[in-house]
Structure 1
Amino acid sequence: MTSEDVVGKSTGETAVSRIVITEESKATHAVVTVCKSLFAGGVAGAVSRTAVAPLERLKILLQVQNPHNIKYNGTIQGLKYIWRTEGLRGLFKGNGTNCARIVPNSAVKFFSYEEACRGILWLYRRKTGNEDAQLTPVLRLGAGASAGIIAMSSTYPMDMVRGRITVQTEKSPYQYRGMLHALSTVYREEGFRALYRGWLPSIPYVGLNFAVYETLKDWLLQSKPFGLVNEDAKELGVATKLGCGAAAGTVGQTVAYPLDVVRRRMQMVGWNHAASIVTAGAHGKEQPLQYSGMVDAFRKTVCHEGFGALYKGLIPNSVKVVPSIAIAFVTYECVKDMLGVEMRISD
Structure 2
Amino acid sequence: MSSEKIELYSSKYYIACATGGFLACAPTHSGVLPLDLVKCRLQVKPGLYKGNLDGIKSIIKTEGLRKVFTGIGPTFIGYGLQGSGKYGFYEVFKKKYSDFFGVSNAYVYMLASASAEFLADIALCPFESMKVKIQTTLPPNPVVGLYSNLYSGLVPLWFRQIPYTCVKFTSFEKIVELIYASFLTKPKEQYSKIQQTGVSFAGGYVAGIFCALVSHPADVMVSLINNESGKGEPMMSAVGRIYKRIGFSGLWNGLGARIVMIGTLTGFQWLIYDSFKVSIGLPTTGH
Give the TM-score taking structure 1 as reference length. Answer: 0.71
AA at the equivalent of 1:230: T
| Offset at residue 334 of structure 1 (A) | 0.1
Where structure 2 has 5 or more consecutive residues not aligned to the other structure, the ranges are none
Map of 1:139 onto structure 2: 108
In the alignment, is residue 249 of structure 1 matched against residue 190 of structure 2?
no
Higher Cα Rg, which structure: 1
Map of 1:58 onto structure 2: 38
Change over 3 Å in CA distance of 1:81–1:146 after alignment to 2: same
Q: Which one of 117, 120, 131 corresponds to residue 94 of structure 2? A: 117
Map of 2:224 onto structure 1: 265
The separation in 2 between residues aligned to 1:291 and 1:47, in whole angstroms, is 34
| Offset at residue 263 of structure 1 (A) | 1.6
Does the 8 Å contact 2:113/2:166 carry over to 1? yes
Length, aligned pairs only: 277
| Offset at residue 338 of structure 1 (A) | 0.9
Give the TM-score taking structure 2 as reference length. Answer: 0.85
Identity %: 20
Change over 3 Å in CA distance of 1:216–1:175 after alignment to 2: closer
| Offset at residue 269 of structure 1 (A) | 3.3
AA at the equivalent of 1:55: L
Change over 3 Å in CA distance of 1:153–1:40 after alignment to 2: same
The separation in 1 between residues aligned to 2:236 and 2:90, in whole angstroms, is 26
Map of 2:277 onto structure 1: 336
Mapping of 1:128-277 within 5 angstroms?
133=103, 135-169=104-138, 171-172=139-140, 175-176=142-143, 182=146, 185-186=147-148, 190=149, 193-194=151-152, 196=154, 198-202=156-160, 203-221=162-180, 223=181, 225=182, 228-234=183-189, 237-270=196-229
Does the 8 Å contact 2:152/2:225 carry over to 1? no
The separation in 2 between residues aligned to 1:199 and 1:100, in whole angstroms, is 17
In the alignment, is residue 82 of structure 1 matched against residue 40 of structure 2?
no
Per-residue CA distance 1:208-231 (angstroms, 9 max, x = gap): 11111011112333x2x2xx3232
Change over 3 Å in CA distance of 1:214–1:294 after alignment to 2: farther
| Offset at residue 345 of structure 1 (A) | 3.5
Per-residue CA distance 1:230-284 (angstroms, 9 max, x = gap): 3243366333222211111111111221111112212223359xxxxxxxxxxxx
| Offset at residue 147 of structure 1 (A) | 1.1
AA at the equivalent of 1:90: K
Where structure 1 has 5 or more consecutive residues not aligned to the other structure, the ranges are 1-24, 126-132, 273-289
AA at the equivalent of 1:47: P
Change over 3 Å in CA distance of 1:46–1:26 after alignment to 2: closer
The separation in 2 between residues aligned to 1:163 and 1:254, in whole angstroms, is 20
